[in-house]
Amino acid sequence: MKAVCVGDLSVDSYVLQNAKFVGGISFNVAWNLKDCGHSPVLLSAVGDDAAGLSILTALRSANLEVHGVQSLPGATAVQKILLRPDGERKFDGYTSGVLGQFRLRDEDRRALQEAQLIHVPLSDGLEAVFADVAESSSAGIKAVDFSLDYQRAAELPELVRSYAKHFQVIFLGGTVDYQALFQSLSQQYPASTFVLTLGKAGVQAYREGKEYYCPAPLLSATVDTTGCGDAFQAAFLAEYCAGSEIAPALDAGRARAAKVASHLGATDCRL
């Protein structure tokens, strides 16, 4: 499957563990799609600093395509993470670095047109690129990720309503307060699937007004929840794009998220 992941690429810096990984929603989704047997293209940017060079080296070592990753003058994005004893993560400061300068090139737009799957998150500093992808034309499935971690989270209900028409799969890392909105939108856009991830409360999906539920995985120990939602989305999309029904796709996402929660880091791509 030709998949394109557009958006953030950063350093995940664990404050207490003194550990660093390649991170960012788009990178995490691309990594997990690759682990599911696909060859994703990542469209993003790093700085021309030491962190950016380290990320490019790590991507090449992991056999991930880097031709879509632009190296721009400035600093690479950094996400600081505080990890609690129970494995739950807390974001402890984010600098977007050169991502605010990142724009799609002509070759990037061609990749979008040819893709069978496009994934893009609404991320801090990447609003212009997000809008560009939303408006782009493609014969493939376009998936979007909304999250309460977004700096303008108070505007999410309206943003979801505004952009829903541009995507076939809409993810939201949110709360039960969004259930009614997603059920309503699934009736308004019957060709689209709406997926609400609720952490320990599981996942609820909606299509044509019908609700599907998948419980959170039962884990003997949770090491780190960072990237679990991204991993879920990648595995869900891999199954969904292959023609699976919603329930099996939810199960695939659940299993992938459980795997990620069992180790430190959203992936094992260390810096």
Is the pLDDT assigned to residue 197 strictly greater than 90? yes
Q: Give dist(CA 151, CA 148) in Å, integer.
A: 8
Q: Give dist(CA 106, CA 82) in Å, integer.
A: 38
Cα–Cα distances in Å, from 222 out to 200, 236, 259? 11, 21, 10
Q: What would the pLDDT profile of 70-123 be if each residue is shown by its tens digit?
A: 999 999 999 999 999 999 999 999 999 999 999 999 999 999 999 999 999 999
Please check whether residue 176 is in contact with residue 154, taking contact to mean a CB–CB distance below 8 angstroms.
no
Q: Which residues of 7-33 are buried (b: 16+ CB within 10 A; e: fewer)?
A: bbbbbbbbeeeeebbbbbbbbbbbbbb
Cβ-based neighbours of 246, under 8 Å, separated by 6 or more: 193, 205, 207, 212, 240
Cβ-based neighbours of 245, under 8 Å, separated by 6 or more: none
Nearest to 163 by CA among 140, 141, 137, 130: 130
Is 0.75 surpassed by the pTM of this model? yes
Nearest to 81 by CA among 149, 183, 33, 30: 149
* Whole-number pLDDT of residue 7: 97
Is the pLDDT assigned to residue 205 strictly greater than 90? yes
* Whole-number pLDDT of residue 137: 85
Q: What would the pLDDT profile of 228-263 be if each residue is shown by its tens digit?
A: 999 999 999 999 999 999 999 999 999 999 999 999
Q: Give dist(CA 73, CA 205) in Å, integer.
A: 41
DSSP string computed for 70-138: EEESSPPEEEEEEE-TTS-EEEEEEE-GGGGG----HHHHHHHHH-SEEEEE--TT-HHHHHHHHH---
Domains and CATH numbers, the chain: 3-261 (3.40.1190.20)
* Whole-number pLDDT of residue 219: 83
Q: What would the pLDDT profile of 26-54 be if each residue is shown by its tens digit?
A: 999 999 999 999 989 999 999 999 999 99
